[in-house]
């Protein structure tokens, strides 16, 4: 039994958000150490250079990233990066600090290896995140890409959403390697209404203006899995027209098919194993309609899932829920599985897995 398996037995006796706070507190403490992240990274050995990926103008040391939602306030980037991720996406962050929804708001569906959350973008605000990330010593975990996921403040009305995103993006623009427009969380009223052509184009116009004012940065759009095929096609076209650098498929789902856990009736976004099939289908739909880089997320829990996403045309991967259930070992397993597949096929780079059956 590995260290995380032992810790998990204790953590899973706690209320989920309490367990999350304890883990993040430990990772934040490790991140404040000058030496510990370097030592953590050294224990993993040399990275496989064949796993490096070039996408939207950035170089990723490997294709596996940590999805937004775990480290909302960017308190643990060095420690998380040292666990082997090629990228860490922090947030979602909003222009204004906000407490999020009432507790309880996070639920484990252990029988389904899933989570339901209705956190509601609880965070300390974009200015606080920007100040913290500006103090980071990125040299402790060289090469790991830092993304910042930006959402709408709860108090912002639909007609002022573009201004709200502008305020948040303007704060974090210079400290991020890339930025993600989160228009797909189900836990902020009115947010998913931004997943239409005109509202999305308005947000991408804001991003274009900020590129002119503050310098070039790739901006991605994160899609919901609950869209129809026609809605997906419409949004992909809008993302291309608006100058998005890439797409993330997908966010959490409101669907509740074939779940065993008694928490299946809880409101909020479902993530983990039950999302895998739909997330893969959305990836296929997106890839059929664009050549933009696509980050695949949703139900990735091991090498087989990762390979399925590459076969479907993913450029990069993200996970979150399997990290909660399996710990850092899932990162090691996915990367080792990709290396093994390259060996098996006699390939020289992970990008060569893209689209292969």
State the chain's maximal CA–CA distance in angstroms. 54
Is 318 in contact with 268 (CB distance < 8 Å)? no
- Report in angstroms the alpha-carbon separations of 232 from 84, 112, 318, 330, 340: 32, 27, 20, 30, 34
- Report in angstroms the alpha-carbon separations of 267 from 25, 116, 135: 27, 7, 37
Catalytic choice (153, 184, 185, 271): 185
| Neighbour count for residue 219 (Cβ, 10 Å) | 27
What's the rounded Cα separation, in Å, for the pair 7 and 64?
24
- How far is the first Cα of the chain from the last one, in angstroms, to the nearest whole number? 34
Question: What residues have CB less than 8 Å from 320, skipping those under 6 apart?
Answer: 66, 67, 68, 69, 70, 271, 297
217: left (phi over 0), alpha (psi -120 to 50) or beta: beta
Nearest CA-CA partner of 91 in 117, 63, 122: 122
Which phi and psi angles does 305 have, rounded to 5°?
-65, -40
Residue 185 annotated in active site? yes
| Catalytically active residues, by annotation | 185
């Amino acid at each position: 039994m590995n260290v995380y398996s032992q810790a998990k037995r204790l953590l899973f006796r706690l209320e989920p958000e309490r367990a999350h706070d304890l883990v993040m507190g430990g990772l934040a403490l490790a991140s404040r150490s000058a030496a510990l992240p370097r030592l953590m990274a050294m224990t993993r050995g040399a990275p496989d250079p064949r796993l490096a990926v070039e996408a939207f103008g950035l170089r990723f040391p490997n294709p596996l990233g940590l999805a937004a939602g775990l480290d909302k306030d960017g308190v643990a980037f060095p420690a998380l990066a040292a666990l082997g991720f090629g990228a860490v996406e922090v947030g979602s962050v909003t222009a204004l600090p906000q407490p999020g929804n009432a507790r309880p708001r996070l639920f484990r569906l252990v029988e389904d290896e899933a989570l339901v959350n209705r956190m509601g973008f609880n965070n300390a605000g974009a200015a606080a995140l920007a100040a913290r990330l500006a103090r980071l010593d990125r040299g402790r975990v060289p090469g790991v890409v830092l993304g910042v996921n930006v959402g709408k403040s709860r108090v912002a009305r639909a007609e002022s959403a573009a201004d709200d995103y502008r305020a948040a993006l303007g704060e974090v623009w210079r400290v991020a390697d890339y930025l993600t427009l989160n228009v797909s969380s189900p836990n902020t009223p009115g947010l998913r209404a931004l997943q239409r052509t005109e509202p999305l184009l308005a947000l991408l116009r804001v991003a274009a203006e900020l590129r002119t004012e503050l310098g070039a940065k790739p901006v991605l759009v994160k899609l919901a899995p609950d869209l129809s095929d026609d809605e997906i096609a419409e949004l992909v076209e809008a993302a291309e027209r608006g100058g998005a650098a890439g797409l993330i498929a997908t966010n959490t789902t409101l669907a509740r098919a074939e779940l065993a856990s008694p928490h299946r009736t809880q409101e909020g976004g479902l993530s983990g194993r039950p999302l895998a099939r739909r997330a893969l289908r959305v990836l296929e739909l997106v890839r059929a309609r664009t050549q933009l880089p696509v980050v695949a997320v949703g139900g990735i829990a091991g090498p087989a899932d990762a390979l399925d996403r590459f076969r479907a045309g993913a450029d990069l991967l993200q996970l979150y829920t399997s990290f909660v259930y399996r710990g850092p070992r899932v990162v090691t397993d996915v990367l080792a599985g990709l290396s093994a597949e390259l060996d098996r096929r006699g390939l020289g780079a992970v990008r060569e897995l893209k689209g292969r059956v």
